Amino acid sequence: MEHNSHLQIKPKSKTGIYHQITPTKANWEYLNFEARLMTKGESWEHHTQDNEMVIVLLSGNFKVESDKGNWETKNGRKDVFSGVAHTLYLSRNSKFTLTAMSDTLDIAYGWCKVTEDFPAKFVTPEDTPVVIFGGDNATRQFNDLVPPGFGCSKIVVREVYTPSGNWSSFPAHKHDERIVDEKGTVLEPIQEETYFYKFQKPGAYAIQQVYTKDRSLDEIARPKHNDVVLIPKGFHPVVAEHGFHCYYLNFLAGTDQCLANTTDPDHEWIYDSWTSKDARLPLVTAEMNKQ
């Protein structure tokens, strides 16, 4: 088993639950994450207990029957490079059965303990906000699956497409210290984060640095297809290998349901340096789900 970094986790199997990250295993407080492969007709029964949960469709189709409502996908993408996700949010104390409706089903889901209740919400590709952010060779695409203001307690979910050779999560930023201004606005939360990677070809990879300003944490990871990189703290920029587009799915959970962060001060000038957007974006659209 290959490990470039103690923050990088390889998939443990090719079927069933192939990733399982808990606060105990990650040595953090809030965020849980799993990825699961299922075959047609296979069902997964679950109770969220004291947790809110977000389920993201990576490929295939599913139906969900629950005590909060019933939903079914009809135009699930063939893979993450063939469309936009369907996203299901479930509050704490939700009981559900999820059934695979395609030959194979690939899903990822995250959860965290909460003390509030919010309505269940099913978001289709057509209703998912898409943002082209950055500039020059740091342009990338955000699909905001569970953005700030979504109507939940702590969790945030975003999938990111980085064209080959481009930088992402850049300029480098962090969210490991809660800072609030005099008006009560959160300038930086404490949030734990997972980066779940997928690529179009098995040999492709990205390079991700995770570092703090004092370099007490300073690691380089080389995530490949289906790898997860943990971000317990610090700045965490990414670059996609030339020739291969990069996808990663971010789950965040912590003190606040927001995406506020602090940029590495050495990088602040970069925001004013961009002169163009990468014409290759968007890499995926909701229209692709219908093909």
Q: Are the CB atoms for 212 and 234 separated by under 8 Å?
A: yes
Residue range 59-70, pLDDT digits in tens: 999 999 999 999
| Residue 7 belongs to some domain of the structure | no
What is d(CA 187, CA 174) in angstroms, rounded to the nearest whole number? 11
| Residue 48 belongs to some domain of the structure | yes
pLDDT < 70: residue spans in the chain: 1-4
What is d(CA 110, CA 95) in angstroms, rounded to the nearest whole number? 16
| Residue 6 belongs to some domain of the structure | no
Q: What is the pLDDT of residue 1?
A: 30
CATH number, domain at 206? Answer: 2.60.120.10
Rounded to two decimals, the pTM is: 0.96
The amino acid at 271: Y
| Residue 8 belongs to some domain of the structure | no
Q: What is the pLDDT of residue 6?
A: 78
Q: What is the pLDDT of residue 202?
A: 85
Q: What's the total number of domains in the chain?
A: 1
| Residue 3 belongs to some domain of the structure | no
Q: What is the pLDDT of residue 2?
A: 40
Q: What is the pLDDT of residue 3?
A: 42
Q: What is the DSSP letter of 241?
A: P
| Residue 111 belongs to some domain of the structure | yes
| Residue 2 belongs to some domain of the structure | no
| Residue 86 belongs to some domain of the structure | yes
Residue range 158-194, pLDDT digits in tens: 999 999 999 999 999 999 999 999 999 999 999 999 9
- Domain, as residue range, for 208: 14-286
Q: 3-class SS at 45?
A: strand
